Amino acid sequence: MCGILAVLGCSDDSQAKRVRILQLSRRLKHRGPDWSGIHQYGDNYLSHQRLAIIDPASGDQPLYNEDKSIVVTVNGEIYNHEDLRQNLPSKHTFRTNSDCDVIAHLYEEHGEDFVDMLDGVFSFVLLDTRDNSFFAARDAVGVTPLYIGWGLDGSVWISSEMKGLNDDCEHFEIFPPGNLYSSKTGGFRRWYNPPWFSEMVPCANYEPLVLRKAFEDAVIKRLMTDVPFGVLLSGGLDSSLVAAVTCRHLEGTKAAKQWGTKLHSFCVGLEGSPDLKAAKEVAEYLGTTHCEFYFTVQDGIDAIEDVIHHVETYDVTTIRASTPMFLMSRKIKALGVKMVISGEGSDEIFGGYLYFHKAPNKEEFHVETCHKIKALRKFDCLRANKSTSAWGLEARVPFLDKQFMDVAMNIDPEFKMINGDKDRIEKWALRRAFDDEEHPYLPKHILYRQKEQFSDGVGYNWIDGLKTHASSLVTDKMMQNAGFIYPHNTPTSKEAYHYRVIFERLFPQNSARLTVPQGRSIACSTAKAVEWDAEWSKNLDPSGRAALGVHTSAYEPQLIADDATLNGKPSQAKIKKPRIDNAIHSTTVIVGT
């Protein structure tokens, strides 16, 4: 992922202003260490920090149309760029082979209405010098980060990260995903609004092969690269499926011809973590070149301030999960890898969080998955993008592919619900789609392995170490006065207080603190979970260990013979009805579940 910064209509075209914008743009250089570019037209500035993934030789930005009357700076990947190029009239000529080069030309043909034609993830700003207008857009659910701010002089500022805005804007906020902002109207307009997004409950029948094909397509298109790449592999369902599909379809691709058919996989964990063992098992099954990275609790604690600086949040669960991913990304980049494929988004789409066990009906189940997808921009998308981009590494997330989401979110949610009477554990619809007896994607016990809460990261020793460290720094008296010091989003734990102190020092503006969501994040302790089951209100920690009666070692599925069919042939796997008790299963999960 790259870094973009645009300042538009700032009433200052001086050299001093240009120098200042270059200074601010350099704050984003970690996102794009390969090249820097800036275009100035009057009092409009478009700057770019490039991470070269496609066309490293000639794809520098900003990008232009033929006569340079249209200028664009882009952070993202356009996976259907070749088809878009071919469908443009022959009068269009391209300066580069960059996938993003189509944007200026599409605008020439279609105006601002071309955004929905883009298949990919992106944030961009486009300046039309012919009438001195501009517009900006962000991808469907916010895989790429983007912020918008306003200056006292009437200027509009747009940046990939807050740190490009926080010293120079009177007010800034998160640029809403699936929207575009146009200077012609002076406001936002939603360009992404599929029927399921309005939370209407779908009723399409569940077709395993259709779902499987949609996900395979989403993974395959993300193999578009001109640089070395790999996958994040934890041994959990989601990352294991990403790795399995990548391995199966890598041979014969452009990436394979350049870098070989041996896929590289990466995981990180505390020494002795059970998920390191699970990831290694999957890697051996798939035949990947597997790299394990270890860190200590102290390593993580030492990195917390850097993590908050890069991820730009004080949300407890996000910081807990971002830290191992941040540490791992540095190691991966040191190996010469610039792109990884990861498994974010599956739990939101399929209701994989453990509190979904308590959903009372399919209507509420579906609405809650919609809420989770819409919140990804503040949590998992934020973590996955910024933790990796901190080291100039790009993370691609096939579960959040537009076409795949349309297939998965239009399935009757009855097929997604956890149902012991029908032998369905969480994410059953996804597991079933890849349960292929003749050509198995994964071993059965991996395919049907129970979800671990991602907020627990790499083990409870990690979380307990963070709590102990925070307790040594934050006193009871400080907590008593927390409401006076931080009246907005008042910290409710010493760990939260510690993160808030660091965040406020790095980002003291009121606009910055308002970008972080109210209360606890999207782990298991949400308001909806409490509404579905009052027992969840007893949990004061956004961690999977609160899943009493659900998250149990007794829940591990056992495979027995069954005459159920898949693909028209007998399937040998059936999940025994889970035995629910109050034991707490304390195995861990590695980044990339």
pLDDT tens for 522-574 read 444 457 777 887 776 666 565 555 454 555 443 343 333 333 333 334 343 44
Co-location of 241 and 175 in the same domain? no
376: Cβ contacts below 8 Å, ≥ 6 apart = 141, 142, 344, 345, 348, 400
Segment (H or E) for 292: strand 289-294
Give the pLDDT score at 282. 96
CATH for 48: 3.60.20.10
Co-location of 186 and 223 in the same domain? no
Q: Which of 2, 100, 247, 381 is catalytic?
A: 2
Co-location of 85 and 151 in the same domain? yes
- Name the band, by pLDDT with cuts 50, 70 and 90, for residue 578: very low
Segment 15-35 shows an average pLDDT of: 97
Q: Which tens digit of pLDDT belongs to each residue from 148-179? A: 999 999 999 999 999 999 999 999 999 999 99
Summarize the annotated binding site for L-glutamine as residue ranges. Answer: 99
Segment (H or E) for 126: strand 120-128
Position 589 in a domain: no
Co-location of 164 and 91 in the same domain? yes
Q: Which tens digit of pLDDT belongs to each residue from 337-391? A: 999 999 999 999 999 988 898 999 999 999 999 999 999 999 999 999 999 999 9
Beta-strand pair 229-232/264-269: parallel
Give the pLDDT score at 154. 95
Q: Tell which of 193, 226, 246 closes a domain.
A: 193
**Rounded to whole angstroms, how far apart are CA atoms 350 and 104?**
36
Beta-strand pair 339-341/394-396: parallel
In contact, 9 and 186? CB cutoff 8 Å: no
Co-location of 162 and 274 in the same domain? no
Position 580 in a domain: no
Residue 114, SS3 per DSSP: helix
Neighbours of 251 (CB within 10 A): 10
How large is the greatest C-alpha to C-alpha distance in the chain, in angstroms?
75
Position 460 in a domain: yes
- Name the band, by pLDDT with cuts 50, 70 and 90, for residue 142: very high
CATH for 232: 3.40.50.620
Position 421 in a domain: yes
Give the pLDDT score at 549. 53
Range of the domain at 455: 202-471+561-575
Co-location of 110 and 248 in the same domain? no
For helices 297-311 and 460-473, give the axis angle rounded to 10 degrees: 80
Position 383 in a domain: yes
Co-location of 186 and 264 in the same domain? no
- Rounded to two decimals, what is the model's pTM? 0.91
Co-location of 275 and 417 in the same domain? yes
Q: pLDDT over 70 for what percent of the chain? A: 87
520 vs 247, more confident: 247
Give the pLDDT score at 541. 61
Position 236 in a domain: yes
Position 442 in a domain: yes
Co-location of 182 and 217 in the same domain? no
Q: pLDDT over 90 for what percent of the chain? A: 77
Neighbours of 116 (CB within 10 A): 14
Neighbours of 569 (CB within 10 A): 10
Co-location of 242 and 165 in the same domain? no
Instruction: Determine the Cα angle at 117 with ends 116 and 118, to 5°.
Output: 90
Give the pLDDT score at 23. 98
Summarize the annotated binding site as residue ranges. Answer: 99, 232, 268, 342-343
Structural domain count, the chain: 2
**Rounded to whole angstroms, how far apart are CA atoms 69 and 104?**
9
Give the pLDDT score at 233. 96
581 vs 478, more confident: 478
Q: Which tens digit of pLDDT belongs to each residue from 511-520? A: 999 999 875 4
| Average pLDDT taken over every residue of the chain | 88
Co-location of 302 and 448 in the same domain? yes
Co-location of 76 and 222 in the same domain? no
* Least confident among 57-66, 264-273, 296-305, 456-465: 456-465
pLDDT at 450 over 80: no
Q: Tell which of 193, 225, 242 closes a domain.
A: 193
CA-wise closest residue to 350 among 431, 236, 282, 421: 431
186 vs 547, more confident: 186
pLDDT at 589 over 60: no
Give the pLDDT score at 540. 54
Position 34 in a domain: yes
203 is catalytic: no
**Rounded to whole angstroms, how far apart are CA atoms 341 and 357?**
28
The DSSP bridge partners found for residue 204 are 411
Summarize the annotated binding site for ATP as residue ranges. Answer: 232, 268, 342-343
- Name the band, by pLDDT with cuts 50, 70 and 90, for residue 42: very high
- Name the band, by pLDDT with cuts 50, 70 and 90, for residue 188: very high
